[in-house]
Amino acid sequence: MFKRSFLASWILALLVVVGVSCREEEVAAAQPEVEKDYFVSAKLITELPQSILVAMADRQGFPQIKNDIKYDVQVYNVTYLTTYKGKEIEASGLLCVPKNAKEALPILSGQHGTTFTQAGAPTNFPAVFSGFELFASAGYLTLIPDYIGYGVSKQIFHPYYDQKHSALAVVDFIKAAKSYAKKNSLTLNDKLFLTGYSEGGYVTMAAQKEIETNSAHKLKVTASAAGAGGFDLTGMLGEISESKPYSNPNYLAFILQSYNKTYDWNRPMSDFFQEPYATNIPGLFNGINSAGTINRALTSDPTKLFSPTFYANLQKSDGELALKKALVANSIYTNWVPATPTKIYQGTADQSVFFENSKTTYDKLKAAGAKDLEFITIQGGTHSSSVEPMMLSVIPWFRSLK
């Protein structure tokens, strides 16, 4: 009798425990997943009156957009969370907020071109003025990311033309901006615009690709405009493998160092470059030297810049495979068909990012099935002179969708 009573009590207690455990699991399963907050902090840098922004538009060569400039703008230095090599880090960017806007705001993220100096990061505003700040006065919540390797993440060597890190620096900033807006009672609509030029063009399309191919971000791009972005990295490799002079060897040295560090190859610079360049290159990329300073310390002749073995292996089908695979993986058209309305801009006389680079990218994306993709040729446009005609095209296009 005692034994049966004890056994029955034990089974009853076990059933109670199991029942409670199951109910706890059911309750836990019913709880909505808490979304990660990417926003860390925002520090007000300055407030720009609408009248000053109109004058800036004149000085920047955009008098046509003066009628769009209607709000004072508050400019913030924002710190947010992103990922580098699988680990959470802090990154930074400029957030420009239209003051006293009555309507729901779209988000616009503007991606800057290559900078070799820490002083060139957007959060060094007002010493750095990209022009994207003007969009805020036109009624966009405007983001201008520093990118990983600048601002608060300057201890990291910038992952130059690395698609994943380029994309996440933008995507995670967008999420942080949404959090900032919610915390500060800013009403947003569902519009999201992306634009950038040079490296910024590449980063723009990398972010668009990341958003479109990863539904976990819960973002949707309204329109994307990218100019002269070096989208086809395998094409760039083909150009330098033909022994042609290249006027911007700083880009070549930048990308090789970036991949060497980002992918932990840890190869000595002498694997890639001849002397004295192999010894001097790490010191040239100190965050202080300008593009011109670095270029003058190098050579435009790839046969003299690169080590003979490395350069010969570039031209062999089985040589430098790790680098070639990285270039293929980071070329924008790899494994992607854009779904968002997209425009690619390219000057025909660009000697930094060759016309064929953008044209090949456009052709491959169209062949893959891209429906709403347009290639806009800027006749006679150089790398610097093509920025203005691109933006004069982008502004009314975005306005029509805003």
Which pLDDT value is given to residue 32?
63
Of 303, 329, 355, the residue that ends a domain is 329
Of 282, 303, 329, the residue that ends a domain is 329
Q: 122 with 93: CB under 8 angstroms?
A: yes
Summarised one tens digit per residue, pLDDT across range 106-129 is 999 999 999 999 999 999 999 998
Distance of alpha carbon 310 from alpha carbon 265, whole angstroms: 15
Q: What percent of the chain has pLDDT over 70?
A: 91
For residues 142 and 180, state if they share a domain: yes
Mean pLDDT, the chain, integer: 91
The CA distances from residue 285 to 10, 151, 251, 257, 291, in Å, are: 72, 16, 11, 9, 10
For residues 296 and 226, state if they share a domain: no
Assign residue 256 the CATH number of its domain.
1.10.260.160
Which pLDDT value is given to residue 142?
98
For residues 188 and 315, state if they share a domain: no
For residues 99 and 244, state if they share a domain: no
Summarised one tens digit per residue, pLDDT across range 351-380 is 999 999 999 999 999 999 999 999 999 999
For residues 92 and 205, state if they share a domain: yes
For residues 294 and 349, state if they share a domain: no
In a domain, 19, yes or no: no
For 279, the domain range is 233-329
For residues 185 and 242, state if they share a domain: no
Q: Quick one: average pLDDT of 149-175?
A: 98
Count of structural domains, the chain = 2
Q: Quick one: average pLDDT of 182-211?
A: 98
For residues 83 and 218, state if they share a domain: yes
For residues 312 and 342, state if they share a domain: no
Mapped to the 3 state alphabet, what secondary structure does the chain carry? CHHHHHHHHHHHHHHHHHHHHHHHHHHHHHCCCCCCCCEEEEEEEEEECHHHHHHHHHHCCCHHHHHHCCCCEEEEEEEEEEEECCEEEEEEEEEEEECCCCCCEEEEEEECCCCCCHHHCHHHCCCCCCCCHHHHHCCCEEEEECCCCCHHHCCCCCCCCCHHHHHHHHHHHHHHHHHHHHHCCCCEEEEEEEEEECHHHHHHHHHHHHHHHCHHHCCCCCEEEEECCCCCHHHHHHHHCCCCCCCCHHHHHHHHHHHHHHCCCCCCHHHCECCCHHHHHHHHCCCCCCHHHHHHCCCCCHHHHECHHHHHHHCCCCCCHHHHHHHHHHCCCCCCCCCCCEEEEEECCCCCCCHHHHHHHHHHHHHCCCCCEEEEEECCCCCCCCHHHHHHHHHHHHHHHC
Listing from the earlier edge strand, what are the strands of the sheet with 342-347?
39-48, 73-84, 87-98, 141-145, 105-111, 188-197, 223-227, 342-347, 373-378
Which pLDDT value is given to residue 240?
81
In a domain, 71, yes or no: yes
Which pLDDT value is given to residue 34?
78
Q: Note the pTM of the prediction, 2 decimals.
A: 0.91
In a domain, 24, yes or no: no
Which pLDDT value is given to residue 30?
54
pLDDT greater than 70 at residue 61: no
Assign residue 188 the CATH number of its domain.
3.40.50.1820
| Residue 82: pLDDT band with limits 50, 70, 90 | very high
| Residue 176: pLDDT band with limits 50, 70, 90 | very high
Which pLDDT value is given to residue 29?
52
Distant-in-sequence, close-in-space partners of 101: CB < 8 Å, separation ≥ 6? 71, 139
In a domain, 22, yes or no: no
In a domain, 4, yes or no: no
In a domain, 92, yes or no: yes
For residues 115 and 224, state if they share a domain: yes
Q: 196 with 203: CB under 8 angstroms?
A: yes
For residues 136 and 280, state if they share a domain: no
Q: 145 with 93: CB under 8 angstroms?
A: yes
Q: 330 with 162: CB under 8 angstroms?
A: yes
In a domain, 52, yes or no: yes
Q: What percent of the chain has pLDDT over 90?
A: 83
Which pLDDT value is given to residue 228?
97
pLDDT greater than 90 at residue 78: yes
In a domain, 220, yes or no: yes
Of 297, 329, 361, the residue that ends a domain is 329
Summarised one tens digit per residue, pLDDT across range 210-268 is 999 999 999 999 999 999 999 999 998 888 888 789 999 999 999 999 999 999 999 99
For residues 305 and 288, state if they share a domain: yes
Hunting for tokens 């203005």 — which residue is that? 388
